[in-house]
């Protein structure tokens, strides 16, 4: 790994030169030196070189001067930029909260006081300050440090996250528990402006403000969700930001307004109204004030002194309060500061000097792009097609759609429940919604899928992105539950393609299907690079495809695990074991004609799925056997057992649960032996 200290700053070519600034500095190396040192990282001798591995807990912060804290902030930025350039991780959000995290840990006493990091992707500095610097070598790697807060990692991680907008509800729960048990500590949720758009956060604000619980909400407003934030609330925050700082002046303001002389009758009412509107105009946080919170801010989230002063002032106020902190995502690393897309939200390895990504991805397009392009292609001619995304335009590769047909693309913010019911509403009026949601976030919308879409049997096309293992994001993000929860819902059709060509036919099928909801699962990562048919067509609903014939056993599988089954088949063939491999592309409904034929043959049946076994596809096959009087004991299932699989690479996660060529081959051998014993 290249060390920042080894780089001669005067010679750095960042590849990013804001021309306006350079010209204002004139020519030569020295001016560029100044610009880089200010924008990228402090390079002045003695700055940014603290040994972070020496930190065991945050107590030392109490004694630090402002200058020392600045040096520490610089050291942390330098460390993160260096370290993440090899491990990858959530760079942008963390660079934005360096000073904020220092100020919080200085002002409060963790773990007695409880920090709750919403989403949790921005907790790296918290991890450094709580003694985990050395573990960054294994960040998000198999058996290494988790990329999110993790209770078993540290007593300072009091709440685990990954999904957004849970922090305020958790804070309310802790505050209630604290008060019930007559304990004294502060509860401090840190929530981003993106996460604040999530329904849960708004439900919690509503409740906390009413219950008047002593909770200090830190609103980390960087104007970005993964990319630019959206929504009316975003505009409300924008007005607060531009209104200027407002801390303790509110009481003075009210006193001032009260001094406006009283007048009688209608004039008095008009004067009252005027006072109110003046108050709204002059008090930036009135939105939160009206909800029962005391508002502080907006505070410059990179000004340690301002942060410290405001937090200490807020600590003196009882009841619910909100400190509005304005930060910059990617602060201190110019490529990240300048890029307003999702590029620096979650990163893989990159070159520090240029910000250029070191990609290892395949040449084929990403699955999300394959699907969104296929939907766009259909939407060009079918004006009834519209797309809904809960804050994932870039992740779901819907940017092309947005560019080409912006009036039929709806980004609703981090609001999966709303997105799902909105799709249902559109479908009632003849629109064909494509609802693109990551499998893991679709969990949020269980009831909306069931109550609003499935029950009303509405023609909604659900694109289930990141289906299967997701790798480094780990257990909070695995897309392994959707089959089990969707399969239980009447009316739902569920499909998963074996390759991108089949995927485009599935998109065609879904958008021409008019018999109820239909879901298409597709994994994280890239397609296989197969040849695409010129024309797309309907696939018969519930039809499977025999990929390879065999006479000793049958493997039923779909999507990502088809190549695995085929590899196992090839290795078994070396021992003269002949296996039939079936592409069970419709998970629901299943190909019943083929299942009758398979069970009637008496061959052992192995199901493989990159999804939980409980209630999964294999369970469906066993249910079929049981319901039709076949021997369910001839079925064996491979998939995700009954525990949460942690972070690592996808191959490591697959290996952990036995989904390897050897694992599958062994299972088939065992099954054949068992079947022969049964017959004997």
Ligand X SMILES: Cc1ncc(C[n+]2csc(CCOP(=O)(O)OP(=O)(O)O)c2C)c(N)n1
Q: Give catalytic residues, as residue numbers.
A: 329, 416, 444
Rounded to an integer, what distance in angstroms lies between the CA atom of residue 462 and that of residue 515? 14
Scanning residues 136 to 165, which ones bind ligand X (CB under 6 A)?
A: 163-164
Closer residue to ligand X in complex, CB, 31/238 = 238
In b/e form, how buried is each residue of 130-150, taking b as 16+ CB within 10 angstroms?
bbbbebbeebbbbebbbbbbb
Closer residue to ligand X in complex, CB, 325/613 = 325
Closer residue to ligand X in complex, CB, 122/478 = 122
Is the CB of residue 500 less than 8 Å from the CB of residue 527?
yes
Beta bridge partners of 463: 436, 520
Rounded to an integer, what distance in angstroms lies between the CA atom of residue 316 and that of residue 393? 42
Query: Which of 190-198, 488-496, 570-578, 672-680 is the region at the interface with ligand X (rule: CB under 6 A)?
Result: 190-198
Report in angstroms how near the CB of residue 443 gets to ligand X at its nearest: 8
Task: Identify the residue among 58, 88, 192, 298 touching ligand X (CB under 6 A).
Answer: 192
- What torsion do the CA atoms of 623, 627, 629, 630 make, to the nearest 10 degrees? -20
Beta bridge partners of 546: 582
Report in angstroms how near the CB of residue 419 gets to ligand X at its nearest: 10
Rounded to an integer, what distance in angstroms lies between the CA atom of residue 571 and that of residue 475? 32
Beta bridge partners of 350: 357
Report in angstroms how near the CB of residue 640 gets to ligand X at its nearest: 21
Q: Using CA of residue 464, residue 342, residue 400, residue 350, what is the dihedral sign? A: negative
Q: Does 121 bind ligand X (CB under 6 A)?
A: yes
Closer residue to ligand X in complex, CB, 192/517 = 192
Scanning residues 329 to 388, which ones bind ligand X (CB under 6 A)?
A: 329
Residue 571: partners with Cβ closer than 8 Å, 6 or more residues away: 661, 662, 665
Interface with ligand X: number of residues (CB under 6 A)? 21
Closer residue to ligand X in complex, CB, 148/558 = 148
Rounded to an integer, what distance in angstroms lies between the CA atom of residue 365 and that of residue 391? 21
Rounded to an integer, what distance in angstroms lies between the CA atom of residue 609 and that of residue 271? 69
Task: Identify the residue among 193, 306, 342, 475 touching ligand X (CB under 6 A).
Answer: 193
Closer residue to ligand X in complex, CB, 220/343 = 220
φ/ψ of 253, rounded to 5, equals: -60, -45
Rounded to an integer, what distance in angstroms lies between the CA atom of residue 516 and that of residue 522? 20
Structure tokens at 426: 């559109």
Closer residue to ligand X in complex, CB, 350/599 = 350
Report in angstroms how near the CB of residue 193 gets to ligand X at its nearest: 5
Range list of H helices, 26-65: 29-39
Report in angstroms how near the CB of residue 346 gets to ligand X at its nearest: 8
Give residue 431's Cα distance to chain centre: 28
Report in angstroms how near the CB of residue 355 gets to ligand X at its nearest: 18
Scanning residues 12 to 41, which ones bind ligand X (CB under 6 A)?
A: none
Closer residue to ligand X in complex, CB, 339/499 = 339
Scanning residues 59 to 98, which ones bind ligand X (CB under 6 A)?
A: 93
Closer residue to ligand X in complex, CB, 175/195 = 195
Give residue 19's Cα distance to chain centre: 35
Rounded to an integer, what distance in angstroms lies between the CA atom of residue 161 and that of residue 165? 9
Scanning residues 431 to 470, which ones bind ligand X (CB under 6 A)?
A: 441, 444
Q: Does 391 bind ligand X (CB under 6 A)?
A: yes
CA neighbor of 522 nearest in space, from 585, 568, 449: 585
Rounded to an integer, what distance in angstroms lies between the CA atom of residue 171 and that of residue 465? 30
Parallel, antiparallel or unpaired: strands 461-465 and 545-548: unpaired
Report in angstroms how near the CB of residue 164 gets to ligand X at its nearest: 4
CA neighbor of 109 nearest in space, from 185, 179, 53, 219: 185
Q: Does 194 bind ligand X (CB under 6 A)?
A: yes
Element (H, E) at 219: strand 216-221
Scanning residues 396 to 435, which ones bind ligand X (CB under 6 A)?
A: 414, 416
Task: Identify the residue among 76, 119, 188, 453 touching ligand X (CB under 6 A).
Answer: 119
Report in angstroms how near the CB of residue 572 gets to ligand X at its nearest: 41
Closer residue to ligand X in complex, CB, 423/590 = 423
The contact pattern for ligand X, residues 209-228, with x = CB under 6 A and - = no contact, is -----------x-x-xxx--
In b/e form, how buried is each residue of 375-407, taking b as 16+ CB within 10 angstroms?
bbebbeeeebbbbbbbbbbbbbbbbebbeebee
Scanning residues 288 to 327, which ones bind ligand X (CB under 6 A)?
A: none
Report in angstroms how near the CB of residue 190 gets to ligand X at its nearest: 9
Is the CB of residue 330 less than 8 Å from the CB of residue 344?
yes
Q: Is 64 exposed, middle or buried (0-12, 13-18, 19+ CB in 10 A)?
A: middle
Report in angstroms how near the CB of residue 13 gets to ligand X at its nearest: 29
Any idea what the Cα angle at residue 658 is, between residues 656 and 661, rounded to 5°? 125
List of residues contacting ligand X (CB under 6 A): 93, 119, 121-122, 163-164, 192-195, 220, 222, 224-226, 329, 391, 414, 416, 441, 444
């Amino acid at each position: 790994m290249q060390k920042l200290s080894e780089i001669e700053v005067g010679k750095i070519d960042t590849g990013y030169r804001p021309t306006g600034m350079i010209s204002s500095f004139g020519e030569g190396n020295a001016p560029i030196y100044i610009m880089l040192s200010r924008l990228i990282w402090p390079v002045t001798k003695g700055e940014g070189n603290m040994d972070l591995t020496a930190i065991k807990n945050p107590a030392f912060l109490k004694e630090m001067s402002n200058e020392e804290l600045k040096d520490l902030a610089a050291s942390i930025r330098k460390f993160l930029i260096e370290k993440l350039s090899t491990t990858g991780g959530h760079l942008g959000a963390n660079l934005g909260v360096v000073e904020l995290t220092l100020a919080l840990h200085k002002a409060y006493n963790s773990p007695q006081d409880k920090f709750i990091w919403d989403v949790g992707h921005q907790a790296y500095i918290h991890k450094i300050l709580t003694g985990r610097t050395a573990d960054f070598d294994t960040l998000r790697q198999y058996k290494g440090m988790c990329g999110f807060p993790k209770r078993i990692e540290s007593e300072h991680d009091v709440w685990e996250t990954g999904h957004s907008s849970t922090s305020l509800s958790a804070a309310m729960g802790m505050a209630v528990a604290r008060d019930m048990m007559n304990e004294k500590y502060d509860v401090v949720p840190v929530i981003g402006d993106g996460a604040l758009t999530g329904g849960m956060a708004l439900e919690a604000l509503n409740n906390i403000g009413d219950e008047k619980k002593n909770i200090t909400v830190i609103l980390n407003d960087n104007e970005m969700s993964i990319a630019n934030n959206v929504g009316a609330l975003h505009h409300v925050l924008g007005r607060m930001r531009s209104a200027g700082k407002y801390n303790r002046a509110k009481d003075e303001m009210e006193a001032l307004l009260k001094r406006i002389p009283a007048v009688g009758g209608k004039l008095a009412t008009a004067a009252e109204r005027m006072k109110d509107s003046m108050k709204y105009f002059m008090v930036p946080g009135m939105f939160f004030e009206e909800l029962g919170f005391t508002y502080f801010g907006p505070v410059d989230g990179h000004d340690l002194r301002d942060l410290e002063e405001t937090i200490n002032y807020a600590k003196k106020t009882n009841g619910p309060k909100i400190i509005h902190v304005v930060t910059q995502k990617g602060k201190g690393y110019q490529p990240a500061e300048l890029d307003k897309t999702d590029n620096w939200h979650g990163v893989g390895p990159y070159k520090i000097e240029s910000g250029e990504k070191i990609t290892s991805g395949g040449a084929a397009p990403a699955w999300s792009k394959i699907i969104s392009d296929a939907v766009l292609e259909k939407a060009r001619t079918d004006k009834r097609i519209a797309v809904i995304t809960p804050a994932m335009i870039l992740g779901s590769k819907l940017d092309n759609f947005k560019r080409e047909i912006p009036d039929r693309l709806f980004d609703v913010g981090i609001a999966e429940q709303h997105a799902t019911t909105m799709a249902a509403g559109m479908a009632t009026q003849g629109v064909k919604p494509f609802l693109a949601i990551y499998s893991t976030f679709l969990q949020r919308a269980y009831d909306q899928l069931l109550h609003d879409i499935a029950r009303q049997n509405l023609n909604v096309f659900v694109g289930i992105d990141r289906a299967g293992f997701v790798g480094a994001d780990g257990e909070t993000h695995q897309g392994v539950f959707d089959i089990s929860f969707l399969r239980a819902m009447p009316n739902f059709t569920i499909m998963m393609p074996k390759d991108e060509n089949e995927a485009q036919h599935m998109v065609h099928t879904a958008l021409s299907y008019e018999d109820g909801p239909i879901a298409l699962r597709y994994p994280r990562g890239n397609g296989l690079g197969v040849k695409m048919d010129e024309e797309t067509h309907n696939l018969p609903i519930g039809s499977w495809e025999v990929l390879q014939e065999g006479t000793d056993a049958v493997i039923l599988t779909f999507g990502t695990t088809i190549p695995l089954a085929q590899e196992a088949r090839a290795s078994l063939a070396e021992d003269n074991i002949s296996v039939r491999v079936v592409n069970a592309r419709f998970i629901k409904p299943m190909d019943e004609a083929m299942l009758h034929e398979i069970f009637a043959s008496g061959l052992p049946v192995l199901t493989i799925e990159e999804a939980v076994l409980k209630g999964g596809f294999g369970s469906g096959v066993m249910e079929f056997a049981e319901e039709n009087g076949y021997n369910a004991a001839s079925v064996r299932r491979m998939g995700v057992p009954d525990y949460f699989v942690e972070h690592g690479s996808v191959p490591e996660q697959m290996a952990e649960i036995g989904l390897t060529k050897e694992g599958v081959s062994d299972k088939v051998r065992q099954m054949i032996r068992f079947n022969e014993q049964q017959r004997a």
